[in-house]
Chains A and B, each alone.
Chain A
Amino acid sequence: MARQVLVIEDDPDIGRLIKLQLADIGCTVKLAADGLRGFAELEAKPYDLVILDLMLPGIDGLEICRRIRARPAYTPILMLTAKSGELDRVLGLEMGADDYVTKPFSVLELVARVKAIFRRVESLANQSAATGQVIESGALVIDVERREVRLDGRPVELTATEFELLLHFARHPGRVFTRAQLLDQVWGYSHSGYEHTVNSHINRLRAKIETNPNQPEYIQTVWGVGYKFRDVARS
């Protein structure tokens, strides 16, 4: 079944461009020129994704985002913003957007982001249906189904992405991933400019699960290549 995408964007050229690109990956796209109309559209029928411009006439994107999040049904949101900079990003994500793309964007990147969101939603759905798989390594226990991590029996609070990253590593112990591979396989992006998010997440993950982040035990550095999860069989 075609995925339903709602694009709330006041610039008709950009709207048409997005529609064109998403139609190519099998989405049915509905355009709304302002926030109110967009929100009404969303009330009328369910959507798989909302692409939302931050700067809109009337009510702005952030407010729309807030209203969408206040609804009981979860709809993924991809923000489009002409402003760049950390503040806007954080704001966008704090407001509950799933991801954001800054204008001007490459259509390739936009499509990659959209696909990544779909993939994430799908894997979440699959995982909740998955069998009670549990991965254990040393003092670390990952409950895949419940999306819970325990270290020495104590629960570890991880964000969604941190969990995905840890899971990706833990499913392939001993295998070395470059940063670009991780970005591609865990985040679903293949475009430059975001790679440092990988470092940032590895860093935070280590702070949460490693006893001594200076000498990581679980997520190790393979100098000159990348990162790997500890290989119990060989260590």
Chain B
Amino acid sequence: MFRSLYGRLAAVLMGVFVAVGGLMIVASQTMFEPERLQTVLEPNLLLELATYLIVGAVAFSLLAALIVFRFLTRRLRTLCESIEVFRDGGFSAPLQLAGNGGGDEIDMLAAVFAEMSERIVCQLEALAQVDARRRELLANVSHDLRTPLASMQGYLETLLLKDGSLTPEERRSYLQVATRHCERLGKLVRDLFELTRLEAHEIRPQPERFPLAELVQDVAQKFELQARKAGQHLVTEIAPEVPMVLADIGMIERVLENLIENAMRYTPAEGTIRVTLQADGGAAVRLGVSDTGKGIATNELANVFDRYYRVDRGEPGNAAHAGLGLAITRRIVELHAGTIRAESTPGQGTRFVVELPAAPAVSPG
């Protein structure tokens, strides 16, 4: 009962009550003592006694109230002060409270404030992080957009300015450069939009039951020529009896393309890119894309799925790639209730594994 403020107040009041009552009893006893009985009838003495009684009671209650209020306000003031410190500190460090472990209303208030302040600090930090990421993203986007634009503009202007003095070959090669950058710009804008819309859930998969094995075969076929030109071996290993999946064919093709394209880009000539597909129990299919390329350092592995993350960002030569492919891939896989992970041994190769739920069985016929 004494743990709560209300209880303590009640106790103090009861004390006052008992004290006043006690005083009354003592006073009346004094009044009714026989030798005093006559004197009692003296109005002056009676008045005097009553005055003492009242003054005493009032003084006592005032004292008690003062103690209680002081006790109350002191703790409220400390709380106030720490909240002010929190505010003046720019909401950066949570409330520091020397909690006395008690459990009265003020303690509870303080605890709630402390919790709130912690939340505020956390959220502000998260916001700051998001903001920093957004800035970095914007910087990356504008850099990646400007670079191809600059080349395009430069070559086209040169063509216009020096039109008369250029050989047909030069003219052609300038135009080719401009076209190449134009395509790159187009891919970037498309990827950015796709990722944004995927993240905003604006694109929804349009699921169909289909044999993933066929799609793997068809997509691999699409890359075959390119692999052969690069002197790489593109191998597909499809296990028999892989169940069908219920997925958006276009999106899953995108996943395959992104993974194979990456694998080919980071694998030297004579390297092997292996696309595997097998059943994973009865309820899932497992798609693997592995390469014998340069690999990804362990500390980078978790980041490659982040949008705009590129291990070799800043290195020349790979500027055409913005680092959106795997972010898009992961979103697509997640939209299909699947998982994706990467394993890598630097210098030996990388393996991406996608698991997708198998389509629920349908009785043939």
Q: Which residue of A lies closest to B197 (CB)?
A: A85
Select which of B186, B249, B365 is within 8 A of A200 by beta carbon: B249
What are some 28 contacts across the A-B interface (CB < 8 A)? A84-B193, A84-B194, A85-B203, A86-B250, A104-B186, A178-B221, A179-B221, A179-B222, A180-B222, A192-B222, A195-B218, A195-B253, A196-B253, A199-B210, A199-B214, A199-B215, A199-B218, A199-B253, A200-B250, A202-B214, A203-B208, A211-B364, A211-B365, A212-B365, A213-B209, A214-B364, A224-B217, A224-B236
Q: B217 to A223, Cβ gap below 8 A? A: yes
Asked whether any CB of chain A lies closer than 8 Å to the CB of B204, the reply is: yes
**Any B CB within 8 A of the CB of A208:** no
Expressed in whole angstroms, the minimum distance between the Cβ of A167 and any Cβ of chain B is: 21
- Interface residues, chain B, with chain A CB atoms under 8 Å away: 182, 186, 190, 193-194, 197, 202-204, 206, 208-211, 213-215, 217-218, 221-222, 236, 238, 244, 249-250, 253, 364-365
| Assembled-state Cα–Cα distance A79/B164 (Å) | 39
Q: From the candidates B193, B204, B208, B211, name the one contacting A86 in the complex (CB within 8 A).
A: B204
Q: Write out the residue numbers on chain B whose beta carbons fall within 8 Å of the beta carbon of A200.
A: 208, 210, 249-250
- Smallest CB separation, B156 vs chain A (Å): 14
The docked-state distance in angstroms from the alpha carbon of A204 to that of B207 is: 12
Main secondary structure of the interface of B (DSSP, over half): helix
Answer yes or no: A75 CB below 8 A from chain B CBs: no
Q: Given A196, A211, A213, which contacts B249 in the complex, CB threshold below 8 Å?
A: A196
Chain A residues, CB < 8 A from B214: 199, 202, 221
Cβ–Cβ < 8 Å partners of A212 in chain B: 364-365
A213 to chain B, nearest CB (A): 8
A86 and B218 form a contact (CB under 8 A): no
How far does the Cβ of B294 sit from chain A's closest Cβ, in whole Å?
A: 27
Cβ of A178 to closest chain B Cβ, rounded Å: 6
> Which residues of chain A come closer than 8 Å to B365, judged between CB atoms?
211-212
In the complex, what distance in Å separates the CA atom of A200 from the CA atom of B247? 11
Assess A214 versus B218: contact at CB under 8 Å? Given A196-B253, A223-B238. no
- Residues 188-225 of chain A, each 1 if its beta carbon lies under 8 Å from chain B, else 0: 00001001101110111001000111100000010111
Given contacts A195-B222, A221-B214, contact A85 B202 (CB under 8 A): yes
Cross-chain contact B249 with A199 (CB below 8 angstroms): yes
Give chain B residues whose Cβ lies under 8 Å from the Cβ of A85. 197, 202-203
| B206 CB contacts on chain A under 8 angstroms | 86
Alpha-carbon separation in the docked complex, A94 to B128 (Å): 45
User: Which residues of chain B are near A226, meaning CB under 8 Å?
Assistant: 218, 221
Question: Within 8 Å CB of B215, what residues of A?
Answer: 196, 199
